[in-house]
Structure 1
Amino acid sequence: MMNIAHDSLYPHNEKNGIGTSDHDVCNIEFLSTLCSGLANHKPSHLQDILNAVALITPLLNAIPSVVFFIKDTKARYLIANLTLATRCGFKSISSLLGKTSSEIFPAQMGSCYTEQDLRVLHQGVIIQNQLELHFYHGRKTGWCMTYKLPLYNQHNQIIGMAGISHDLMEVKENHPVYQKLAIVDDYIREHFDRTIRLEELTNLTHLSVAQLERYCKRIFHLTPRQMIHKIRIEKASELLATELPITDVALQCGYTDHSAFTRQFKALTGITPSNFRQSMGRSHLPLS
């Protein structure tokens, strides 16, 4: 049997319903290791994996900041943890099982998630460190890092997939170089409405590109490019709740045109700006 035991799980108290602290680092590392183990196991049947993971279901349910799931070749949930069920508005995990994301999430988002799943299942695509803005039950939102990978049998045939999404961890303000990096965050927030080159950020901090990337990942848990995307999409979400035309929203958030904005917005949220506006009850507003 595959070794999936782990003795260092530290559930934490969430301050605002959605968010992680340093105590969750070991949880995330555990689940990442678990997914890697599942990917490398290559059993005869998917049921072998399901039986093994079922043994640690209570542990998976004790991690409120991480979503975990296993799906079959038709992208249907076979195993999920309680965090996923709760965020989808369900009281029990059983409400998810046997269904696809398209059947669980709002139409536009669900279709996008299922499309992503099918790329993993049909093409063997591995999704790593993908920054995404997730929409939860009750209109709550939260930034997550998503990982999805195919599961293979002994004949190298894809028999399912596993995935985790963990809440973006809190900024490490106590880190020795936090003050040096804080000016990067401030600079991006001040200039997100135009193209920001990495050279600007390295000149600002007197760091090399490699150092900047490393420290941003350590303190903000994002690359500089991900920080820019995150701030732009946050601002765009605010503007989409107003009467401003979507083309103007794109320009004000640093995108050169409507299509570029739509591609990036959908990549990070799963829905288009117009779909997002529609979900806010403003579908009558103009595109340009």
Structure 2
Amino acid sequence: MTIPLLTLNNGVEMPAFGLGVYRSRPEETTGAVLSAFEAGYRHVDTAAAYMNEEQVGEAFRSSGLARLDVFIESKLWLSDYTYDGAIHGFERSLRKLGMEYIDLYLLHQPAPTEFERTLGAWKALCEIVKSGRARAVGVSNFNEEELKRIIDETGVVPAVNQVELHPFFTQKKLSQFHQEQGILTQAWSPIGGVNRYFTEDPKPEDDPLTHPTIIRIAEGHGKSSAQVILRWHIELGHSVIPKSVHTERIRENFDIFDFSLSSEEVALIDALNTGRRGGPDPKSLSTQTVKFSIPE
């Protein structure tokens, strides 16, 4: 099975499909990543704040794969924002992963109330990518205004913006801006799981997996609702990083390259947008509201 490759704005190629390990406990992560590698995945998305970079590195070393054959992505947490802090945070991630370079390194949040710190961290990432220790750099959870500001300040356009994006929160305006700027849209919570795990009272009507339109399209293709949603992302040119620690689900999620959706089906899924986030508003996150630091 050949995974489509997406070309970033600096020419680096990234597999369009990968495994996310947000909310994967350290004791689950090594096995999940190994299962993904065995299924054919070659892209893993982690972060300092997920507290499982070491286990991602362990899984890679156990896999027998060559470093050039895998794409590893990680993120800098708010507590390390500032220029010097970002250099230190990046080096910590390298050490925990046990790798000499990271393929894609992101700022995890915009922290708009502390944006000078954010700018300092972004300037550090611009230097890191010049050094070759990161092959590409980008951001996560940034809006259009925040993207414009870091581009204006440095002249460096992020390769990727990783944002909450699923059929109930399609982010069309932001994705259009990404396209105009040469920024790749990467979807976290691509199936809409955030609508289940970020509430104490999940409701079926808030879950894209149970929407009649998705179910009907899935039945027409002999696929699951999750597979249809993930294929929708691929049709739109997104990078997609669904999370699972279950081998069967990891394999099921990956089995989306033997069918395609029609433009009409894509439009039907697009029309499910509610404009409502399932996760926290990135504007609310700062070192004042989220007070943990990354252990050494």
The reply to whether TM is greater than 0.5 is no
Greater RCO, CA 8 A, separation 6+: 2
Q: TM-score of the superposition, structure 2-length normalised?
A: 0.28
- Choose 1 or 2 for highest CA Rg: 1
